[in-house]
Each structure stands twice: as structure tokens, then as C-alpha cells.
């Protein structure tokens, strides 16, 4: 068989698995091109989630409160930068479209800032933790800025390049696969360097190793952005008429988003899911190091976690295609909660080493298999919320919607890192940097770890499950809304039945005649609408 035939066969297999219709050139390649940026976005953040807090506290010798301060200040800055970037993308006029060129512009900044996050260039060696804290605050703020330059345009572009309902699921599915590529590749680079099967407890002697890892991974994370820029086609925005820009209008843009009931429901369930997973990811390093006392298995456990999450993807995709975008969350959220509760059984002081290891592996696998379900729901319904927003306002505001999506994805994790750090240190008396010493954590500190690692994630996952049950928009609703928007842009009015209008009101949370879709369109509005469409 010729090499070309081999690649063609592989491509057809991927197409069939993801449910893509059409030729590889017209259907598969654009999905790979757009989602290549996920290798950068997911790979970089995954390594940070796994190792950064431990790096700051155990290697750079910051307290958990100081490490939390690093996360807090950078996250507050990120919360400012996100809406600014959303406004910029919604107003970008370029032959490449509103979003595409930012992938090239962000390539060098994200590589440089990622590297400086993993070394203080000798500052930490002086022993002055205040200076070290200040340095990492600045370094993390710079990285957040570079990340925002890429992530907001990337999220905002999807509703525009994938206008059809199930097509978006296909794009999200491909994004899920390339997320996994980014996470696994970056994780393997880190884990084999630190010791895959038998990691030593982290300490200051590993500073040169972490600096080297920052250099290697920052280079690895750069090249996918080329693929996204050159592999994605977006309509020119040179003829776009940007909306007005002033402080009152800008604030109103983001307040108006919450008038959308579908958005509020999406925001609630995604927020609860992200809070739960952030509590977990910000304390799992400490739980494994100080409670389970299995740090040597940390990389093996995370490999199993990746396997568990990836194994949920085929089931999620089938459930979405067969029963709708919410169903996989209804099935797998209870599994995720069960995985969290299994961690309560782990107690090295009262059970054998083998039982502890077995429970740790089992709980990680069950948790991450369940994790994939509600996460898949949030990723799949986010683009549909943009269409409901257009039904209400008459405008495409992907940037404004993307701001909140990115806030949930990134800012929540940073805020929770600060909350966990301050709480563990000041409420429960948790001490960092003592893993290699005989000084044990207090019973209260271990209770605090169990609360932040297990109890609080369970609480927020229950709320997430309620949110998934309440979200009702389905494929039929989506197609009806898209057809109505198209008709309104073309003719100035819509021909919906009484039942369809009632359904629009239920989804949007507003009276039909109060929305753009139900209001008369004057001649000037019709001309502007024709340009936009």
C-alpha cells in the first residue's frame, strides 16, 4: 500500500469515528486546523494545573498563601484582560477575519512568557520569598496576557466557522482529541524528566530541571498556532461596521448577555463544573503528597487519569449524537461524584500499602471517566448560546460570549488556587515544603485537604448536575432559531407559529416582542443586517 493510501485510510477512519461528512480536504482538515491551537492552550494549562503549585511551594519555597497570591493577582489581571480582548476581536477589521491573525501575533509572547514562569533566574536562591513571590506574580500575569491573546479569539471564532448544530459537536469532538494530544505530549515531556515511575519528593535541588522543562515545553507549544492560522478560513471583516465603543456601552454589552436565559443556564452549569474541578486540581498534588503519601506514583496516576477521561469520549460522542448534547452529562456526572467520594476511603495509617494504591488508582480512573461527561456538555452548548443571543439582540457577539467562557475556564482555576492556598494555611494550619522532613501535617491540616479535595467538589458537582437537568434547548430548537434569524435578516420579519414563539420565549427568558427577532425591522436596520449576513 502506498504512503498516500495509508494516510487516506487513516483520515477516513478518523472521519468515520467523529461522524464527519464530506471529503477530508473540505471537512476534516479545517477541523484539525482550527483545533490545532488546542494543543497549545490545553497542553500549557495542563502542565500548570499538575505541577505549578507544587513547583512554587515545594521547589521555590513559597508558602501556600504566597502561592495563592501569585494565582490571585494574575487571575484578577486576566479578568480585566479578557473582556478587553473580547471587545477587540468583535471590532477587528482584517482580510483574515476578526480572529485569525491573533494566532500569529500570540506565538512568540506565549513561548517567552511560558518559559519565565518556570525559573526565577536566581531570585529564589536568595531566600527572600517576598521577592520571589513578586517575580512570579509578574511572570504569571505576562503569561495570562499572552494566553488571552490566543484563547479569546479561538473560542469566539467557532460559531462563525461552524454554523450548523451537529457540525459544532464535530468541531468540539476534534477539539477534545487535540486537547488530549496537547495534554499527553506536554505531560510526557515533564513526567519522564522528573521520573515517571518513581518521582522523588520535590525540593529546591530540582530548580534547573524545571527551568529546562519550561524551555522545552514553550517551544513545543508554539508550532500548533501556525497550523491554526494557515489551516483555518474565516470571512474577511474589512466591510464590518464595528459597534460604538464607550464605557457605558461596553458595560452594557456584558450585562446584556445575562438577559439570555440559555446563557445563564450554560454559565451556571459550566461555572459549577469548573469550580469543582478547580478545587480538585488545586489540591490533588497535596493530597497525593501528604495524605495518600504516594508522590512517587504522581505521574503514573495522571497517566491513568488521562486514560480514564479519554475513554469517556466515545461514549460521550455517541450519547450526544443519539440523545442530545446534555445527555452525556446526565449519565456521567454521578460517576464523577462517585469517584470523588472514593477518595474518602484512602487512609494510609489504617490500611495496607497495596489497598491505598488500589483505591487511589480506582478513584482517579472513575473520577476522570465521569469528568468527561459534564465537560463535554459545557463545550458543546456554548456556541449555541451565541445564536440565542443573536435572536435577542440581532447581532453576532461571539467575543462577548467567549469572554465569559474563558473566564470560567481560566479565571476560576486561579481564584480557587488562591482560596485553597489561603484557607489551607490560615484556617487549617497546612504547611508546605515539609514533604522531605519528619514533621507531619496536623490532623486539622489533613481535614482541610479532604474538604477542599473531596467535599467541596462533590457539592458543586451536585449543583452542576441540577444545571444540566434544567438546560432544555435541543437540536430542533436550534434549527428553528437559526432559520428564524436567517429569515429576519432577509425579509425583516419571521413566520413562526404560536408554539414556536412560546418556545423562543422559554429558551431566551424574554417576551417574543421584546427581542430583536419579534420586532419590526426598519429600512436602515435591514440594510445593515444584509451587510452583516
Q: How many domains does the chain have?
A: 2
Residue 8: predicted pLDDT: 61
Q: Is residue 215 part of a domain?
A: yes
Q: The C-alpha cell of 245 is what?
A: 465603543
Q: Within this chain, do residues 507 and 450 fall inside the same structural domain, yes or no?
A: no
Residue 65: predicted pLDDT: 85
Mean pLDDT, to the nearest integer, of 457-462?
97
Residue 525: predicted pLDDT: 47
- Can you tell me the distance from the alpha carbon of 66 to that of 136, in angstroms, rounded to the nearest whole number? 10
Q: Within this chain, do residues 372 and 426 fall inside the same structural domain, yes or no?
A: yes
Write a three-state SS string for 299-333: HHHHHHHHHHHHHHHHHHHHHHHHHCCCHHHHHHH
Q: The C-alpha cell of 477 is what?
A: 430548537
Q: Within this chain, do residues 485 and 459 fall inside the same structural domain, yes or no?
A: no
Q: Is residue 48 part of a domain?
A: yes
Q: Is residue 524 part of a domain?
A: yes
* Straight-line distance from the first to the last Cα atom of the chain, in angstroms, rounded to the nearest whole number: 46
Q: Is the dihedral of CA 64, 454, 463, 177 positive or negative?
A: positive
The H-or-E segment that residue 112 falls in is helix 107-116
Q: Is residue 286 part of a domain?
A: yes
- Lowest-pLDDT range, 304-318, 344-358, 368-382, 516-530? 516-530
Cβ contacts of residue 2 below 8 Å, gap of 6+? none
Q: Within this chain, do residues 307 and 395 fall inside the same structural domain, yes or no?
A: yes
Mean pLDDT, to the nearest integer, of 475-479?
87
Q: Which residue has the cell 497535596?
A: 286
- Can you tell me the distance from the alpha carbon of 11 to that of 409, in angstroms, rounded to the nearest whole number? 31
CA 24 from chain center: how many Å? 27
> Domain ends where: 458, 473, 488?
473
| 12 closest CA partner among 30, 34, 27, 1 | 27
Residue 75: predicted pLDDT: 86
Q: Within this chain, do residues 157 and 182 fall inside the same structural domain, yes or no?
A: yes
- Can you tell me the distance from the alpha carbon of 57 to that of 64, in angstroms, rounded to the nearest whole number? 6
- Can you tell me the distance from the alpha carbon of 197 to that of 105, in angstroms, rounded to the nearest whole number? 39
Residue 526: predicted pLDDT: 46
Mean pLDDT, to the nearest integer, of 137-146?
94
Residue-wise pLDDT tens digits, 279-316: 998 888 889 888 888 888 888 888 888 788 888 878 88
Q: Within this chain, do residues 369 and 517 fall inside the same structural domain, yes or no?
A: no
Write a three-state SS string for 402-418: HHHHHHHHHHHHHHHHH
Residue-wise pLDDT tens digits, 206-241: 898 889 888 888 888 888 888 888 888 887 777 776
Residue 132: predicted pLDDT: 95
Q: Within this chain, do residues 51 and 183 fall inside the same structural domain, yes or no?
A: yes
> Domain ends where: 445, 473, 501?
473
- Lowest-pLDDT range, 210-219, 384-393, 502-511, 520-529? 520-529
Residue 275: predicted pLDDT: 93
Q: Is residue 222 part of a domain?
A: yes
Residue-wise pLDDT tens digits, 2-26: 555 655 665 566 555 555 555 556 6
Q: Within this chain, do residues 297 and 424 fall inside the same structural domain, yes or no?
A: yes
- The answer to whether the beta carbons of residues 516 and 394 sit under 8 Å apart is yes
Q: Is residue 158 part of a domain?
A: yes
> Domain ends where: 435, 451, 473?
473
| 430 closest CA partner among 291, 293, 277 | 291
Q: Within this chain, do residues 109 and 193 fall inside the same structural domain, yes or no?
A: yes
Q: Within this chain, do residues 340 and 378 fall inside the same structural domain, yes or no?
A: yes
Domain with 494, as residue range(s), is: 480-532
- In angstroms and rounded to an integer, the radius of gyration of the C-alpha atoms of the chain is 24
Q: Within this chain, do residues 408 and 343 fall inside the same structural domain, yes or no?
A: yes
Residue 171 pLDDT > 70:
yes
Q: Within this chain, do residues 271 and 392 fall inside the same structural domain, yes or no?
A: yes
Q: Is residue 10 part of a domain?
A: no
- Lowest-pLDDT range, 174-178, 327-331, 425-429? 174-178
Residue-wise pLDDT tens digits, 419-439: 888 888 889 988 876 555 555
Which CATH number do you get for residue 356?
Answer: 1.20.1250.20
Burial class (CB in 10 A: 0-12, 13-18, 19+), 167: middle
- Lowest-pLDDT range, 151-160, 165-174, 205-214, 459-468? 165-174
- Lowest-pLDDT range, 68-82, 165-179, 411-425, 454-468? 165-179
Residue-wise pLDDT tens digits, 108-119: 999 999 999 999
Q: Where does 427-511 have alpha helices with state H?
A: 443-450, 456-470, 475-491, 498-508
Q: Phi and psi (nearest 5°) for 262?
A: -60, -40
Residue 122 pLDDT > 70:
yes
Q: Is residue 120 part of a domain?
A: yes
Amino acid at each position: 500500500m502506498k504512503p498516500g493510501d495509508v494516510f487516506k485510510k487513516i483520515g477516513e477512519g478518523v472521519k468515520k469515528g467523529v461522524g464527519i461528512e464530506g471529503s477530508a480536504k473540505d471537512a476534516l482538515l479545517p477541523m484539525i486546523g482550527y483545533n490545532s491551537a488546542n494543543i497549545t492552550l490545553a497542553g500549557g494549562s495542563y502542565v500548570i494545573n499538575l505541577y505549578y503549585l507544587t513547583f512554587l511551594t515545594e521547589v521555590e519555597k513559597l508558602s501556600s498563601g504566597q502561592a495563592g497570591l501569585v494565582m490571585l493577582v494574575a487571575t484578577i489581571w486576566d479578568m480585566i484582560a479578557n473582556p478587553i480582548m473580547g471587545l477587540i476581536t468583535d471590532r477587528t477589521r482584517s482580510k483574515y477575519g476578526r480572529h485569525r491573525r491573533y494566532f500569529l501575533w500570540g506565538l512568540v509572547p506565549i513561548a517567552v512568557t511560558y518559559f519565565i514562569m518556570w525559573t526565577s533566574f536566581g531570585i529564589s536562591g536568595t531566600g527572600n520569598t517576598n521577592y520571589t513571590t513578586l517575580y512570579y506574580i509578574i511572570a504569571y500575569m505576562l503569561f495570562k496576557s499572552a494566553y488571552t491573546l490566543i484563547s479569546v479569539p479561538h473560542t469566539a471564532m467557532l460559531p462563525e466557522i461552524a454554523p450548523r448544530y451537529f457540525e459544532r459537536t464535530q468541531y468540539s469532538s476534534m477539539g477534545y482529541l487535540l486537547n488530549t494530544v496537547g495534554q499527553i505530549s506536554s505531560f510526557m515531556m515533564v513526567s519522564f524528566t522528573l521520573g515517571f515511575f518513581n518521582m522523588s519528593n520535590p525540593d529546591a535541588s530540582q530548580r534547573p530541571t524545571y527551568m529546562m522543562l519550561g524551555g522545552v515545553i514553550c517551544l513545543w507549544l508554539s508550532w500548533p498556532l501556525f497550523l491554526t492560522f494557515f489551516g483555518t478560513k474565516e470571512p474577511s471583516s474589512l466591510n464590518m461596521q464595528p459597534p460604538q465603543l464607550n464605557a457605558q456601552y461596553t458595560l452594557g454589552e456584558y450585562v446584556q448577555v445575562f438577559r439570555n436565559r440559555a446563557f445563564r443556564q450554560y454559565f451556571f452549569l459550566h461555572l459549577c463544573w469548573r469550580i469543582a474541578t478547580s478545587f480538585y486540581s488545586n489540591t490533588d498534588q497535596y493530597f497525593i503528597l501528604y495524605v495518600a503519601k504516594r508522590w512517587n506514583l504522581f505521574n503514573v496516576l495522571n497517566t491513568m487519569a488521562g486514560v480514564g477521561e479519554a475513554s469517556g469520549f466515545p461514549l460521550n460522542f455517541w450519547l450526544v449524537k443519539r440523545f442530545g448534547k446534555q445527555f452525556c452529562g446526565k449519565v456521567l456526572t454521578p460517576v464523577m461524584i462517585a469517584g470523588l467520594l472514593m477518595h474518602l476511603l484512602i487512609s494510609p495509617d489504617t490500611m495496607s500499602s497495596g489497598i491505598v494504591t488500589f483505591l487511589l488508582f480506582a478513584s482517579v480512573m472513575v473520577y476522570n471517566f465521569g469528568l468527561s461527561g459534564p465537560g463535554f456538555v459545557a463545550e458543546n452548548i456554548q456556541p449555541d448560546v451565541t445564536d440565542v443571543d443573536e435572536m435577542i439582540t440581532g447581532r453576532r457577539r461571539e467575543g462577548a460570549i467567549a469572554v465569559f467562557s474563558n473566564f470560567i475556564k481560566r479565571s476560576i482555576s486561579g481564584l480557587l488556587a488562591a482560596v485553597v492556598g489561603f484557607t489551607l494555611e490560615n484556617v487549617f494550619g497546612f504547611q508546605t515544603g515539609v514533604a522531605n522532613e519528619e514533621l507531619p501535617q496536623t490532623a486539622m491540616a489533613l481535614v482541610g485537604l479532604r474538604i477542599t479535595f473531596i467535599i467541596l467538589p462533590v457539592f458543586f458537582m451536585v449543583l452542576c448536575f441540577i444545571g444540566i437537568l434544567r438546560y432544555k434547548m435541543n437540536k430542533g430548537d436550534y434549527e428553528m432559531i437559526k432559520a428564524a434569524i436567517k429569515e429576519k435578516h432577509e425579509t425583516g420579519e419571521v413566520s413562526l407559529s404560536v408554539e414556536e414563539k412560546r418556545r423562543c420565549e422559554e429558551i431566551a427568558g424574554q417576551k417574543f416582542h421584546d427581542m430583536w427577532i419579534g420586532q419590526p425591522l426598519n429600512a436602515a436596520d435591514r440594510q445593515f443586517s444584509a451587510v452583516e449576513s
